[in-house]
Amino acid sequence: MKLYMLIGHPVEKSPSPAMHNAAFSHLGLECVYVAADVPPQALEDAVGGIRALGVAGVNVTIPHKVSVIPHIDELDESAELAGAVNTLKNVGGKLKGFNTDGAGALRALKSRTQIRGKRVLLLGAGGAARAIAFSLAIAGAELTIANRTIARARALAEDIREKVGRAVECVGLDERELTSRAMDADIIINATSVGMYPDSGRTLLTSGMIPRDAVVFDIVYKPAETRLLREAKKAGASVIAGIEMLVQQGALSFEIWTGKRAPIKVMRKAAEMELRRN
């Protein structure tokens, strides 16, 4: 029996165990996936425990995506670019870090729209936003990053310019400028925690700030329909819910660990059921 796990703080309501265990069961794999709440001060010990127990693979979530890096042995290019890790694979006792957030977001987007040449407004510049920004730049998007702390957005834009050779524009969250950029966008992505339960009444954009022909993607998956998505529907825009990224990044982790094609429909159904339960 192979052991897989999620580490983060908190993790008690995560749908990842239900999603991955459903996938293992569907494919007849003798594997189990559990969640472990690891506070920041215990991270080094937790990674040591992962090695000692021979855990085959790990998902890493907030707040450990960056801080786990000094404790592992190797980074895949996806994690190198993003400067963050959300997946670990145990390879002969060595822990290799990957980042599937960006590729997962692109998978979700490509089911609905093209990326190359599209004007994309990305809300946020930390955590998952970094991985998504790099993936969008590599895919040929014309990217603008909007962030409360504009210096952080500029630092990310410079990182992308140096590593990928793509220019990225940056704005703050001033309503007038944000509206102007949003109304000019083909794709709008919220990669912040704004609108996440329990603050589900919040949004950075309202219907009057969203063009009717845009695709609006909110990576927040709880609630299932965020206020941003409701505002986008009111504007007549197409929407992509956060569960799509949750499932797609999870499927990519599953494929890294097992070398098998992930049963995405099974994973989506399990995640939806778990989110409804919680």
Contact 192, 125 (CB under 8 A): no
Tokens coding 196: 């996440």
Helix (H, G, I), strand (E, B) or coil at 119: strand
Report CA-CA distances (Å) from 160 to 122, 143, 153.
Answer: 14, 11, 11
Which residues, 6 or more positions from 18, have their beta carbon under 8 angstroms from its beta carbon?
Answer: 270, 271, 273, 274
Torsion-angle region of residue 168: left (phi > 0), alpha (psi -120 to 50) or beta?
A: beta
Picking from 205, 194, 212, 216, the residue whose alpha carbon sits closest to that of residue 120 is 216
- Joined together, the tokens standing for residue 224 give 């299932």
Length of the chain: 278
Structure tokens at 236: 């007549």
Rounded Cα gap, residues 112 and 138, in angstroms: 18
Choice among 2, 13, 65, 118 that is catalytic: 65
- Whether 65 sits among the annotated catalytic residues: the reply is yes
- Please give the Cα distance from 225 to 229 (Å, whole number): 6
Q: Are strands 74-75 and 94-98 parallel, antiparallel or unpaired?
A: parallel
- Retrieve residue 28's tokens: 């007849």
Q: What is d(CA 192, CA 273) in angstroms, rounded to the nearest whole number?
A: 24
Residues involved in catalysis: 65
